[in-house]
Structure 1
Amino acid sequence: MLISIVVPVYNAEKFLPKSLESLQNQTYTELEIILVNDGSNDGSAAICEQYASTDKRFVVIHKENGGVSSARNTGLKRVTGEYVGFVDPDDWIEPDMFKRLYQLTQEYNADISMCGYVKEKADGTVLNTLEQPSVTSFTAKEALNTILNDDSFRGFLWNKLFSAAILKENPSLELDENIHFCEDLLFCCKAILGSKSLVYDITPFYHYMFHDNNASSSQYSLKKLTSLEALEQIIEMLSEEANVNVSMYKSYYMRMNLSLLMNGIHENKSSTDTTRYLRKNLFKYSLSELNSKSLRFSCCISRVSVKTAYLIWKFTKRN
């Protein structure tokens, strides 16, 4: 079975060789590795071409810069494999990652297989807690009720292998190029909803590199505001689905909204219109729909007085 792997590339020359080498050295060799150069202005394009010139499994597509979702969508249109995976250009993977993910789809008759990940610094320092090895299978509804849990497989694209049939059966299943945060969560929820079964091996085959390019000190930006749109789409999509805990997504929405509101004030970056928008969102869902007492308390205080809520938030943050 051919596996297509989409790699969106933008100004990643420092990390790209290690990432592509880890793909080239996969023990599962029936691969189609699609490198989408998204208008890089460093040496990334040349590195992509170098790998393609020596290994016919690498395919390079050059395009004008349009963002990571645009690059991924371009790659998705080119895939020919029976399964589709994603790898980011500054990360790297264990040699057996795609062999294991493919094995899982066969052993569990799964439409989507998933693995654990290591979040690490360039010096190898591991930033997340690694759990004991285990394999868990899910129905689509069970997966949708698990994806937001801190110890779950989460809504990332890069630790999953998708059956291409899911993509073909749902032509609208692509990345929303107008959403810059939680766009991968939105994609994953759509894919899961179209699947029958999933399987998760918690073994960390994927290495997510934490560095200056993805470690912004700012907790507020206009791009981060688009995460609310992604969550609104997910909530609307799942609202009529039986046995799906939609309140979990509404709570996530409210936590995100509160974070943007408080950090926007704290960093003095939120415009009057944006602050008004975020304050209005505090009333979007009833308090009874939220899944924790602390969240309900924060929303309640913020509804009465954003200034008071900010002072409490600032005190809590400082301590």
Structure 2
Amino acid sequence: MHKISIIVPVYNVEKYLERCVNSILSQTYENIEIVLVNDGSPDNSPTMCDQYAKVDERVKVIHKENGGLVSAWQAGVRASDGKYLCFVDSDDWVEPDMISEMYAFLSAGNADSMEIPSDKKEIICCNFVIDRFTGDDMSSGQYKVTKHYHELKPGIYEGKQLETDVKDQLLGHENRLVSMSRCMKLFSRRLIEDNMKYCNPDITFGEDVNIVLPALLDCERLVIMEEALFYHYFYNYDSMVHKYDKKLYQGICTLRSVIKEIFEDKKRQNGEMQGDKEYIYLLMFALKNEIRGGRKNYSVKVREICNGNQDIVMTYPVIVGNKINRILYFLLKNPKLIYINVVRFLFRLGDGLHK
């Protein structure tokens, strides 16, 4: 049984950390290493991490200055020893058989001896549920659980099928073929180590694309598990949904540049088209951020984004099914002030209905 390192970035999560770490310690797969990376957390999380390390030898703790999520999981990778890597966010949790079930799908998953190595670069993907919490108090709030699956049909993808059905279709769709989250996946270590050079700590939106995209483009074997709802993604609606990020658009532009670099380095013939279509969908997030942000000059920023990207929007038509995205796509192509104000009104009306 090969060692698997599970890397958990930790920052300001004392309320959720116990649930997360206990779910990992409860894994039925025995040969695991848990790397808790304290990213300069100001709460009691660092002490909790150290306590776990004292009582369980499988836990390794890294303390570092705050540098953001990307720098935290990179530090965890460097400190880990496992042949395979898995990532879990510290406010999420996992089912006890997640690692054992994913390991069984690896090329070496059924090997009886460590002397039977597998150097194949592969990724095993399970599925996830989103636990949406509503309310200010976890004890009195309500959960809404929804199941989520990769768009790609369950199965094992190798050779030509992997190249044409997966790598040529990774980006540029409203719903990505394979989730770009680094979580809910089991990676061959080489895929992560060889591609950390693309990770840009300045990107705070879609940062996982920087590592998952090149890993998927390099992988030789991809497995999409059927059902396998092992990962619980915790989504606190009240704390997350309406935060305005003044750096979001610039971060999206930086992400676009990294995506372009990755496709060029990996020599994907349709990489430019994939990247540009993906950028159009990301622009919809940027518009939503500005319209919902509450700034007085929101319309100026919205028109700046739309007018500055008319060429690419008109060059690469995309298919949009989501109702909100259809409105935002229309706005991208028609950034008139009257339309912007109408969309603002509709968003505020919809947000009010959720309160």
TM-score with structure 1 setting the length? 0.85
Measure the CA separation in 1 of the matches of 2:295 and 2:62. 40
Alignment of 1:204-219 (within 5 A): 204-211=229-236, 215-218=240-243
The counterpart of 1:301, out of the listed 334, 341, 353, is 334
Deviations 1:214-258 (A, max 9, x none): 523135432464133213321443268446475454233223324
Residue of structure 2 equivalent to 1:28? 29
Secondary structure at the aligned position of 2:33 is classed as: strand
Partner of 1:254: 280
Cα distance in 1 for residues equivalent to 2:214 and 2:91: 26
- One-letter amino acid matched to 1:38: D
Residue 162 (structure 1) aligns with:
187
- Contact kept, 8 Å, 2:39 with 2:64, in 1: the verdict is yes
1:67-106 aligned within 5 A: 67-106=68-107
Unaligned runs of 5+ in 2: 110-119, 134-141, 321-325, 351-355
C-alpha contact 1:186 1:231 (8 A) present in aligned 2 = no
One-letter code of the match for 2:333? C
Aligned runs of 1:2-151 on 2, under 5 Å? 2-106=3-107, 111-122=122-133, 123-128=142-147, 135-138=154-157, 139=162, 142-144=165-167, 145-146=169-170, 150=175
Aligned residues: CA RMSD: 3.2
Q: Percent identity?
A: 28
Structure 1 alignment gaps of length 5 or more:
none
Residue among 211, 214, 217 paired with 1:193: 217
Q: Which deviates more, 255-264 or 61-70?
A: 255-264
Contact 1:140 1:197 in 2 (8 A): no
Query: Do the aligned partners of residues 198 and 310 (structure 1) sit closer, same or farther apart at CA in structure 2, a change above 3 Å counting?
Result: same
Per-residue deviation, 1:279: 3.8
**Structure 1 counterpart of 2:154, one-letter code:** V
Q: Comparing 274-283 with 225-234, which one deviates more in the overlay?
A: 274-283
Q: 1:281 aligns with which of 283, 308, 327?
A: 308
Paired residues of 2:291 and 2:298 also in contact (CA < 8 A): no
**8 A Cα contact 2:8 2:88, kept in partner:** yes
What is the deviation of 1:284? 4.7
> Conserved in 2, the CA contact under 8 Å of 1:18 and 1:92?
yes
Task: Label 1:204 to 1:219 Cα distance change in 2 as closer, same or farther (>3 A).
Answer: farther
**Is 1:172 equivalent to 2:197 in the alignment?**
yes
The letter for the 1-side match of 2:202 is N
Q: Which moved more, 1:121-130 or 1:281-290?
A: 121-130
- 2:127–2:148 Cα contact (<8 Å) kept: no
Q: Distance in 1 between the 2:174 and 2:278 partners?
A: 11
TM-score under structure 2 normalisation?
0.77
